[in-house]
Amino acid sequence: MPVNYSFVKDDIFNPQLNVQPTAVVFFGACGAVSDGAIDYAIESGASYLMCRTCCHDNIGGNVTVTARSNHVNRFFRFKNWAYDRMRRVPKYAGFYFSPTYERPAYPRSTVGRQLSTTDEFLAVARDSPDSDICRAVIDLDRYLYLEERGFRVEYQGELLVAERQ
């Protein structure tokens, strides 16, 4: 590995690193984990954020998915059933979900809050496993949230690339 960079591991909901990374990169950070990593990039002063979001249904601590009869939908409902059971176990408290990113945290952007309510936004999340549009609405809110915090953002199908201006 070149000497001018390193990879480090930290708790995204309770960061302990006292560094200013050049870039925060994540791929497949589910639900609120994506939002925690986005906030980490903002608060740490990172110049770049490169990420692929996923599991949009889990924003706001949501574990409910609108039931539809297809394999992807069944998988998401099973996954959420498992996460709901796991988060009730004390040793997993704070794993995957965080009080910082419960219902009132959404929508995250100022524009999103002007155009939508938390209940409407979580209804979009419940439909997101079966809808590209619902996932895009959630990521558009993340896009605007980053723009409001001084980033120039490019977005393409769950991929966000942001550069601090």
Q: Which residue type is seen at 1?
A: M
pTM: 0.91
| pLDDT tens string 86-120 | 888 888 877 888 999 999 999 999 999 999 999 99
For 123-133, what is each residue's pLDDT tens digit? 999 999 999 99
- What is the DSSP secondary structure assignment for residue 128, as one 8-state letter? G
Q: What is the pLDDT of residues 16-73, one digit of tens each?
A: 888 888 999 999 888 899 999 999 999 999 999 999 999 999 999 999 999 999 999 9
Q: Are 141 and 115 in contact (CB under 8 A)?
A: no
Average pLDDT, the chain: 93
Residue from 70, 66, 29 nearest 158 by CA: 29
What Rg, from alpha-carbon coordinates, does the chain have?
A: 16
